[in-house]
Chain A
Amino acid sequence: MIQAIAPFLLIFPIVGALINGFFGRRIQNTGGPNKGELVSGWIGTLMSFAAFGVAIALFLALRNDYGPHIVTLFDWFNVGDFHVPWEMQIDRLSSVMLLVVTGVGSLIHIYAIGYMHGDKNFARFFTYLNLFMFFMLILVTGSSYLVLFVGWEGVGLASFLLIGFWFDKNRKIDGVYEGVLNSNASRKAFVANRFGDLFMILAMSLMFWTFGSMQFEEVFAAATHGFEAGDKSLPLILTLITLFLLLGATGKSAQIPFFVWLPDAMAGPTPVSALMHAATMVTSGIYLLVRSNVLLEIVRESGYELFGLVTTPELVAMTGAITALYAGLIAMTQFDIKKVLAYSTVSQLGFMIAAVGMGAYVAAMFHLVTHAFFKALLFMGAGSVIHGMEHGHHHLHDHGHGHDDHHDHGEADGHHVVAAAVHGHHDESSHDSAVVTHTAAAHDDHADHHVEDDFDPQDMRYMGNIKKYMPWTTTVYIIGALALSGIVPFAGFWSKDEILAHASFNFNGGDGGWIFRVVTWLLTAAAICTAFYMGRQLKMVFFGHERHEATYHASESNRHMVAPLVVLAVLSLLGGILNFPYFSEADATASLGHYAEPYESCGDGKIRECFSGGHGDSHGDDAHGDADTHAADDSHSDDAHAEDAAHGDDHSEAHDYGINLALEHWLEPALQSFELTEEHIVHLPHTAQSVQWRVAIQSTILAVLALCASFFFVYRGFNSESRKADDIDPLFTVPILSSFLTGMQRLPLDTLYMGVLRPIFNAFSWFCGIILDWDFYHDFVHEQLIRAPYLWFSGFVSKTLDRGLLDGGLVLGVGKLLRGFSGIYKNFQSGYVRNYALGLFLGVVGLVLYFILG
């Protein structure tokens, strides 16, 4: 069955892409411009849903069957002994990726129907989306690094096409066409990705050179075998391979040092940001590293240190952790609603990479899945807000600034006040966040600035109190934001907490070394940043007061856009059940005890690491499962959890783990390092099986504090004149919180904040933004270290090599030679019959001479 249906994963999207590619424009414009766009959009969407159906079927087929299934499509190429079949590898890891890619992808397709409504290139957009799905599925299902690389490049292409989708926008920003800026952004993404790809190719070459194969199974088997046999050169080679793989992943997954393209990629339409630059494409680096878990674990086991400093898994962990914190800090300074999310994505990807580096592959995949839910939700929510703001702005223009209209939400005076506030906004902001504005402006060099009044529908400073106008969007956005911030019981809490728990567990109780300590603290700080910038965003966008007239006219988006948001909101709410931890170690041991193989006692003896020997049936892996409602009820109270865990215990004899750690059990067969650990060949760092209460409580408290702090600090004193006299901060209407906040208000916290904290924060964010990110990273590292030699080299290649040697010497030389030669030869084609006859005759004479003399 798997053999039969797996190829349809690739067939459906490419068929959709071909239909829309060849006939899309005709379909779209049937019966008038964009009259048929729904047909075109639904073709693409249904193809995506069909692929989702196949993914579900594969998932069901893999429930009792965990071995990798190799589906050979055709022979790709044969060069001598080198034989590369085009194969799909369907196993449990790729099945998870498939569900995420096709599931979230399909929802985003629906959303895009609403979002791209009226775009003259509607069909082209869906062509690209389906093309992206096609390549992403190749990437996920490839059975070798080479096939994976095809998808890897393909999604890069799709990303390039979609970031620059609006390359023909002819609005001018600072004298430059917006379309030019969009295409610059797409080129930047493309080039930055190629740097990563260079390392991928190096990794693959090294792999082929060493093992003679690029098939996952063969490479891993050869590496394991070589390691067992004690091959001396293997650690070095594997270290290099994993280093190159890491660098390849940093390109695609936007980590230090190649993260710079992702914020610029926000130039693309919002569904693209949601699909590719948040949920799926950027996670392919994590997938790559998780897929290569055997190689990483062998390096970890061998202890080979790069330059005598760190092993590559540690380097992976450090890269992820540093990126997580660094991007989190930058996100706090952004004003563009999508850029906050972009840096947040970089930060969350950092979490996943860090998890991979620490050996918490399941946690990385868990976070990948939940992140796909809530980050797609957030991006699409942001797109909905932008849509609403644009709509409001258009409305404003159509109705002469709305003074004549009666609106239920404000007096005419209010409008004037707000308008004044908008105009005074820049002066006002100068004392608060001039430097930050500068940072933002430097980053947002291609952010929208409206020609008439500098209105930018993406600038959060123009928003405020959107909750009044877009209730659905607000609700789901808050759910997404809470999930991202890691608040119980939303999905992000469980996945992020698992990573934090793993880090902390290993430095407290394991033998992980100093790296876990550093990573723990970095990730905790990054988690605080996450909560803070999401709180800041919520405050700026949805709460507070209207700061621009357009806001008054914002309206809820159409149902194509809202429906997927609601589905994703449900997933963000319930995603945690995918890998629900046990609530006490007793439960964990009791539930897993039958199969546990406690080979090593942990430092404090608190938790025993349990690796399940049997691979039982697992339920509720996906939120589509039956466990949905069951778990939703459970998540209300801890008691219910305990009961549930106990309940799971009863069933444990029937190889039923219940919903606890479903994802872990699901992925175990696909991650060979688990098996190798059982065989004591490598030692995977332990993951806690039950909730680490200390970590959970600590991170929850920190996240809540950061959220509160952001609500308390952000926009405080900023724009105060613009507030109407009878205004009450919406936060102060909340019963309990109001007394708390009022109490806080009376304290000299204000002074402390205005006098000390804010300048420090401003200086710090200025340092982060201008010095660290812009001056140092962009200007120095990128401009001086990377761009200048690159320009010199490309100049050398293009001017000297290409134009001088190749063009001048070869191409033009050949041309000149041919022209000279043909000038001579032209004389033969005189058009005179006797000249031709002479030629013929000479030939005859020659032949006669040859035959009679020769």
Chain B
Amino acid sequence: MGHPIVFLILATVAVFAAIGMLTSRNAVHSALYLVLNFCTVAVFYLVLNAPFISMVQITVYAGAIVVLFLFVIMLLGADQLPKASSNGGLQYILAIFATAGLATALILQLSGFGDGTAKPESALDASPEAIGTLLFQDYVFPFEITSLILLVAMMSLIVFKAQKRKKQDG
């Protein structure tokens, strides 16, 4: 499952990209850090013998989604937000403790999962052909559902906009 050096480097990059996304005050910077993070994860997918997913990750996530984000940020001019000063203190402390606690607990408990003997790399044929076969044979029903979800999302956007227009007309 990859060389430890590669893993550590990629992991470090991923974590720092995440930290950067969280901490930067400029939303555009956040989006760019997110792209870096997604790309790192895409490399992990390659390492993990998932070339198809890796490509999809780069096209859909790093390409479409983050571009959509950037587009909206720039559209709204919401890149620089004023620093709000509401009840931050307790919320911050509790949030940090809770997330740290969760991460610690998960790592301590689950990192020893399994006996460390992964299946050999050859055991997994993850070519686009194999994925396609699986998707359109065993998972054809969920796949159709997914299309339905996308359709509903699309319709909701149209309805949303139509209502807006109607309101403006009225």
Chain A residues within 8 Å of B, Cβ to Cβ = 830, 832, 834-835, 838, 841-842, 844-845, 848-849, 852-853
Cα distance A838–B86 in the bound complex, in angstroms? 15
Q: Are B109 and A838 neighbours in the complex by a CB distance under 8 Å?
A: no
Cα distance A844–B105 in the bound complex, in angstroms? 12
Contact check: which of B86, B99, B105 meets A832 at CB < 8 Å? B86
The distance from the CB of A842 to the nearest CB of chain B, in whole angstroms, is 5
Q: Are A848 and B105 neighbours in the complex by a CB distance under 8 Å?
A: yes
B130 located at the interface, meaning its Cβ lies under 8 Å from any Cβ of chain A in the complex: no
Cα distance A849–B91 in the bound complex, in angstroms? 20
The distance from the CB of B102 to the nearest CB of chain A, in whole angstroms, is 5
Q: Which B8-56 residues have a C-beta within 8 angstroms of A?
A: none
Contact check: which of A830, A834, A835, A845 meets B102 at CB < 8 Å? A845
Nearest CB to that of A843 among chain B residues? Answer: B98
Given A830-B87, A832-B87, A853-B109, A848 and B95 contact (CB-CB distance below 8 Å): no
Cα distance A199–B91 in the bound complex, in angstroms? 65
Given A830-B87, A834-B91, A841 and B106 contact (CB-CB distance below 8 Å): no
Given A852-B105, A852-B110, A845 and B91 contact (CB-CB distance below 8 Å): no
Taking A849-B102, A852-B105 as known contacts, 19 extra A-B pairs with beta carbons closer than 8 A to each other, sorted by chain A number, are: A832-B86, A834-B91, A835-B91, A838-B91, A838-B95, A838-B98, A841-B99, A845-B98, A845-B102, A845-B105, A848-B102, A848-B105, A848-B106, A849-B101, A852-B106, A852-B109, A852-B110, A853-B105, A853-B109
Cβ–Cβ < 8 Å partners of A830 in chain B = 86-87
Nearest CB to that of B100 among chain A residues? Answer: A845
B76 located at the interface, meaning its Cβ lies under 8 Å from any Cβ of chain A in the complex: no
Cα distance A841–B103 in the bound complex, in angstroms? 13
Cβ–Cβ < 8 Å partners of B106 in chain A = 848, 852
Cβ–Cβ < 8 Å partners of B109 in chain A = 852-853
Cα distance A373–B130 in the bound complex, in angstroms? 106
B145 located at the interface, meaning its Cβ lies under 8 Å from any Cβ of chain A in the complex: no
The distance from the CB of B75 to the nearest CB of chain A, in whole angstroms, is 22
B94 located at the interface, meaning its Cβ lies under 8 Å from any Cβ of chain A in the complex: yes
Contact check: which of A832, A838, A844, A852 meets B94 at CB < 8 Å? A838
Cβ–Cβ < 8 Å partners of B102 in chain A = 844-845, 848-849
Cβ–Cβ < 8 Å partners of A842 in chain B = 94, 98
Q: Per-residue CB proximity of B43-87 to A under 8 Å, as 1/0? A: 000000000000000000000000000000000000000000011
Cβ–Cβ < 8 Å partners of A832 in chain B = 86-87
Cβ–Cβ < 8 Å partners of B94 in chain A = 838, 842
Chain B residues within 8 Å of A, Cβ to Cβ = 86-87, 91, 94-95, 98-99, 101-102, 105-106, 109-110
The distance from the CB of B84 to the nearest CB of chain A, in whole angstroms, is 10
The distance from the CB of A826 to the nearest CB of chain B, in whole angstroms, is 13
Cα distance A849–B101 in the bound complex, in angstroms? 9
Nearest CB to that of A834 among chain B residues? Answer: B91
Cα distance A852–B95 in the bound complex, in angstroms? 20
Cα distance A832–B87 in the bound complex, in angstroms? 9
Cα distance A305–B98 in the bound complex, in angstroms? 82
Nearest CB to that of B104 among chain A residues? Answer: A849
Cβ–Cβ < 8 Å partners of A848 in chain B = 102, 105-106
Residue contacts A-B, CB under 8 angstroms, 21 given: A830-B86, A830-B87, A832-B86, A832-B87, A838-B91, A838-B94, A838-B98, A841-B98, A842-B94, A842-B98, A845-B98, A845-B101, A848-B102, A848-B105, A848-B106, A849-B101, A849-B105, A852-B105, A852-B106, A852-B109, A853-B105
Cα distance A849–B86 in the bound complex, in angstroms? 30
Nearest CB to that of A841 among chain B residues? Answer: B98
Cβ–Cβ < 8 Å partners of A849 in chain B = 101-102, 105
Cβ–Cβ < 8 Å partners of B87 in chain A = 830, 832, 835
Cβ–Cβ < 8 Å partners of B98 in chain A = 838, 841-842, 845
Cα distance A841–B105 in the bound complex, in angstroms? 14
Cα distance A375–B94 in the bound complex, in angstroms? 84
Nearest CB to that of B101 among chain A residues? Answer: A845
The distance from the CB of B76 to the nearest CB of chain A, in whole angstroms, is 19
The distance from the CB of B90 to the nearest CB of chain A, in whole angstroms, is 9
Cα distance A849–B109 in the bound complex, in angstroms? 10
Cβ–Cβ < 8 Å partners of B105 in chain A = 845, 848-849, 852-853
9 closest Cβ pairs, A-B complex: A852-B109, A845-B102, A845-B98, A842-B98, A849-B105, A838-B95, A841-B98, A845-B101, A838-B94
The distance from the CB of A828 to the nearest CB of chain B, in whole angstroms, is 11
Cα distance A848–B86 in the bound complex, in angstroms? 29
The distance from the CB of B69 to the nearest CB of chain A, in whole angstroms, is 19
Cα distance A834–B94 in the bound complex, in angstroms? 12
Nearest CB to that of A852 among chain B residues? Answer: B109
Nearest CB to that of B94 among chain A residues? Answer: A838
Cβ–Cβ < 8 Å partners of A853 in chain B = 105, 109
The distance from the CB of A836 to the nearest CB of chain B, in whole angstroms, is 11
The distance from the CB of A407 to the nearest CB of chain B, in whole angstroms, is 81
Cα distance A842–B86 in the bound complex, in angstroms? 20
The distance from the CB of B95 to the nearest CB of chain A, in whole angstroms, is 6
Nearest CB to that of B84 among chain A residues? Answer: A832
Cβ–Cβ < 8 Å partners of B101 in chain A = 845, 849
Nearest CB to that of A832 among chain B residues? Answer: B86
Cα distance A166–B102 in the bound complex, in angstroms? 74
Cα distance A651–B109 in the bound complex, in angstroms? 108
Cα distance A763–B159 in the bound complex, in angstroms? 100
Cα distance A830–B91 in the bound complex, in angstroms? 12
Cα distance A841–B94 in the bound complex, in angstroms? 10
Cα distance A7–B110 in the bound complex, in angstroms? 75
Cα distance A830–B109 in the bound complex, in angstroms? 35
The distance from the CB of B142 to the nearest CB of chain A, in whole angstroms, is 26
Cβ–Cβ < 8 Å partners of A844 in chain B = 102
Cα distance A853–B109 in the bound complex, in angstroms? 8
The distance from the CB of A829 to the nearest CB of chain B, in whole angstroms, is 12
Cα distance A834–B87 in the bound complex, in angstroms? 11
Cα distance A842–B99 in the bound complex, in angstroms? 9
The distance from the CB of B61 to the nearest CB of chain A, in whole angstroms, is 23
The distance from the CB of A841 to the nearest CB of chain B, in whole angstroms, is 6
Cα distance A848–B94 in the bound complex, in angstroms? 16
Cα distance A832–B88 in the bound complex, in angstroms? 11
The distance from the CB of B114 to the nearest CB of chain A, in whole angstroms, is 15
The distance from the CB of B72 to the nearest CB of chain A, in whole angstroms, is 19
Cα distance A849–B102 in the bound complex, in angstroms? 8
Nearest CB to that of A835 among chain B residues? Answer: B91
The distance from the CB of B94 to the nearest CB of chain A, in whole angstroms, is 6
Cα distance A797–B95 in the bound complex, in angstroms? 53
The distance from the CB of B89 to the nearest CB of chain A, in whole angstroms, is 12
Nearest CB to that of B87 among chain A residues? Answer: A830
Cβ–Cβ < 8 Å partners of B91 in chain A = 834-835, 838
* Residue of A841, A845, A853 contacting most chain B CB atoms (<10 Å): A845
The distance from the CB of A114 to the nearest CB of chain B, in whole angstroms, is 66
The distance from the CB of A830 to the nearest CB of chain B, in whole angstroms, is 6
Cβ–Cβ < 8 Å partners of A845 in chain B = 98, 101-102, 105
Cβ–Cβ < 8 Å partners of A834 in chain B = 91
The distance from the CB of B21 to the nearest CB of chain A, in whole angstroms, is 17
The distance from the CB of B92 to the nearest CB of chain A, in whole angstroms, is 10
Cβ–Cβ < 8 Å partners of B95 in chain A = 838, 841
The distance from the CB of A479 to the nearest CB of chain B, in whole angstroms, is 85
The distance from the CB of A258 to the nearest CB of chain B, in whole angstroms, is 67
Cα distance A339–B152 in the bound complex, in angstroms? 86
Nearest CB to that of B98 among chain A residues? Answer: A845
Cα distance A787–B157 in the bound complex, in angstroms? 79
Nearest CB to that of A846 among chain B residues? Answer: B98
Cβ–Cβ < 8 Å partners of A852 in chain B = 105-106, 109-110
Cα distance A849–B94 in the bound complex, in angstroms? 16
The distance from the CB of A748 to the nearest CB of chain B, in whole angstroms, is 107
Cβ–Cβ < 8 Å partners of A835 in chain B = 87, 91
The distance from the CB of A607 to the nearest CB of chain B, in whole angstroms, is 100
Cα distance A832–B91 in the bound complex, in angstroms? 11
Cβ–Cβ < 8 Å partners of B110 in chain A = 852
Nearest CB to that of A827 among chain B residues? Answer: B87
The distance from the CB of A843 to the nearest CB of chain B, in whole angstroms, is 10
Nearest CB to that of A837 among chain B residues? Answer: B95
Cβ–Cβ < 8 Å partners of A841 in chain B = 95, 98-99
